[in-house]
Each structure stands twice: as C-alpha cells, then as structure tokens.
Amino acid sequence: MPRRVLLLNLLACFWCCAVLNVRLHLAGHHHYIFLLWNLFLAAIPLGLSLGLGRLNRLALALPLLAVWLLFFPNAPYVLTDLIHLNARRSGQVPQWLDLLMLLSFALVSLWFGFQSLRIVQHWLARRYSRAAGWSAALGTLALSGFGVYLGRFPRWNSWDIVHRPQLLLQDIAGRVLDPVQHAQTWGFTLGFGTLLIFGYLFWISAMTPQPAEVKID
C-alpha cells in the first residue's frame, strides 16, 4: 500500500473517532460505541487483501480469499448503520452531528472495502486475466448485497459460519429455495448489490488517470 494511502486511511479513522468522541461527550452515554467495532470489522478485508501480495501459490491464496470474501460484506454493511439516525438522541446532540458521524463511519468503511476489492481484482487480473478480475469483483459486490442483508436483518455474523454453521446454512438454503416467501431478502440483495456495483464503478472511473494537457500553438 502506498504510504500516502496508508496515511489517508489512518487520518480517516482518526476523524471517525474524533466525531464519535464529540457525540459521546455531548450525549453523556455510549450508545454509538458499536461503530468502532464495525469500523474494525470493515478494515479486516483490507488487511487480508494486503497479504495476497506475499502469496504466489494458488493453494495458499485460496484459503485467504475465502476468509476475505466472508468478511468483505462487513465493509458495505456500515452503510446500513444510517438506520440508527435519531437513535438515543438528546437535546444536547444536533441531528446534523449524528448524520455526520454515521456518514463518516459508513463512507470510510466502504472505502476500505473498495480498496481491498481493487487489490484482489488486480491480483486475479495479473494471475489470470482482466475478465477474471472483473468477474470476481462484480460477483463479490453482488454477493455482498446478500451478506449485508443477513447481517442487518436476521443478524448473522461472519464468524457464525464457524460458530453456528448448520443454522446459518439452513437459513440461507430456505431463502434460496423459496425466494417467493422471502421477497424482502432478494429485493434488498438486488437493490443493495446494484448500488455497490455502481459505487465501485464510479470509484474506479474517478481513479482513471486524466490525459495530459497538450498545448496547441
């Protein structure tokens, strides 16, 4: 990771913590302290993706990629924390501060996710092809819509695949095998997954180098 990007990541985390600290001080309670844990979970995929650069064998990379895919939805998941706007508000806390705090955590977490996805996409493109990299990236974003739904509504966690695998797989199977009875699941998955894809494409397009200016005599 370039030093300037690492510095920007650290500054973004510091900003989130600073805004949260102001909110906690004004409110006099710690209701929103869970945002720190969510930010930490959002950073895990980025840390895992950075380990890919040290691996040259696919047999070693596959377990890392599997864990990365399992934790990746934690990054866009923080966007859904916006539903907590106005929760446990008091007269000492202006609404704009709550909005600023939630947006800060959500956007920084999403940025961590996009960074990690870009690293994985580049790794796959170098090893296989650009098509493989893009297929993995878009597929990951589409699956993340489902992963975010599982985390926000049935309240499943990434580690439940180890802690309660049978119950988690039964819940997933029920939603897959009977989509008509789970219209909310697939409506959210489609909508949120599409939003993430557009967001990533916009982010990638903004990174494209601009052509150099040429003076015309």
Q: Is residue 179 part of a domain?
A: yes
Please report whether residue 68 resides in a domain. yes
Arithmetic mean of pLDDT, 102-111: 96
Q: Is residue 213 part of a domain?
A: no
CA–CA separation, 36 and 49 (whole Å): 21
Residue 1 has pLDDT above 80, yes or no: no
Q: How confident is the model at residue 55 (pLDDT cuts 50, 70, 90)?
A: confident
Per the CB < 8 A criterion, the answer to whether 125 and 58 are in contact is: no
Identify which of 67, 81, 35, 82 has the alpha carbon closest to the alpha carbon of residue 158: 67
Determine, yes or no, domain membership for 160.
yes
Q: What is the pTM of this model?
A: 0.88
Instruction: List pLDDT tens digits, range 125-142.
Output: 988 899 999 999 999 999
Determine the pLDDT at residue 92: 79
Angstrom distance (rounded) from CA 2 to CA 80: 30
Within 8 A by CB and 6+ apart from 42, the residues are 74, 75, 77, 78, 108, 109, 110, 112, 113
Distance CA 196, CA 202 (A): 10
The answer, yes or no, to whether residue 214 has pLDDT greater than 80, is no
For residue 212, being part of any structural domain is answered with no
> Euclidean distance between the first and final Cα of the chain, in Å?
41
Contact 77, 148 (CB under 8 A): yes
For residue 129, give every residue at least 6 positions away whose Cβ sits within 8 Å of its Cβ, in sequence order, or none.
Answer: none
CA separation for the pair 89, 121 (Å, rounded): 41
pLDDT (tens digit per residue) in 160-184: 888 888 998 998 999 999 988 999 9
Range of the domain at 97: 3-206
Name the domain count of the chain. 1
Say what the pLDDT of residue 208 is: 57
Per-residue pLDDT band for 76 (boundaries 50, 70, 90) equals: very high
125 within some domain: yes
Q: Decide which of 156 and 100 is more confident.
A: 100
Residue 27 CB coordination number (10 Å): 17
Q: Is residue 211 part of a domain?
A: no
SS3 178: coil
Whether residue 116 is contained in a domain is answered as: yes
In angstroms, the CA 216 to CA 46 distance is 44
Residue 62 has pLDDT above 60, yes or no: yes
